[in-house]
Amino acid sequence: MPESRDEQFVQMFALHERNVRAFIRSMGLDWFAVDDVVQTVSLVMWRKWDEFDPDTDFMQWARAIARFEVLKFRRKMARDRHVFRDDVMELLADATEELQAETSPKKYHTALQQCLNTLPPKSGRLIQAAYAGDRTIREVAEDVGQSATAFYKTLNRIREKLRLCIKHRLESW
């Protein structure tokens, strides 16, 4: 007897729930927030299940929904100064998607922390100022005496160094 679409969803979600949870966690949420977002993601996926094409990648579909739900959750929590801005979340999500097939989020997070610690103090302060607060890039750029365009270029150079550092660390493990 062929499986119903409902049974297919339950099987696919059960098979991939751990990866969905890890992806959401990699976007910087604490464990309690991850639980809330996973629940929301599962409900959204269930509601959209009829739209899912079984010939496509389930995890790619799940990550797209999870990314949107994390951003929605973070907007709700935006009053908390310890929440990363949406552009940082996008950066983390992009980097995580590239590495998730190869490594665990815990290893990725460890590598990110190690690489952040190797940055020169000035670069570390710039990353912290740009991503940890609720100020715009333009405001931070003004504080450091750069135009927004120049500051974006500086941030892109630092992010590229971080990306290469993370990649190197993960490859060496």
At 128 the pLDDT is: 81
- Locate CATH 1.10.1740.10 in the chain: 1-81
Element (H, E) at 153: helix 148-172
CB 44 within 8 A of CB 69: yes
Judged on CB neighbours under 10 Å (0-12, 13-18, 19+), 27 is buried
At 171 the pLDDT is: 83
Higher pLDDT residue, 39 or 30? 39
CA angle 134, 84, 143 (to 5 degrees): 40
Provide the residue type at 33 as one letter. A
User: b vs e for 123-151, b when ≥16 Cβ sit within 10 Å of the residue's Cβ?
Assistant: beebbebbbeeeeebeebbeeeeeeeeeb
Q: Is the alpha carbon torsion for 12, 17, 18, 24 positive or negative? A: positive
Structure confidence by residue, pLDDT tens digits, 63-114: 999 999 998 888 877 655 455 566 666 666 776 666 555 556 677 778 888 8
Whether 48 shows a pLDDT value over 90: the answer reads yes
At 140 the pLDDT is: 85
Determine the Cα–Cα distance for residues 117 and 121; give it in Å rounded to an integer: 9
- Locate CATH 1.10.10.10 in the chain: 102-173
For residue 155, name the pLDDT band (cuts at 50, 70, 90). confident
Q: What is the mean pLDDT of residues 39-46?
A: 93
Whole-number average pLDDT of the chain: 82
- Dihedral of the alpha carbons of 131, 136, 138, 144, in degrees to the nearest 10: -50
Name the CATH architecture for the domain at 102-173: Orthogonal Bundle (1.10)
- Looking at the domain that runs over 1-81, which CATH code has it been given? 1.10.1740.10
Whether 125 shows a pLDDT value over 80: the answer reads yes
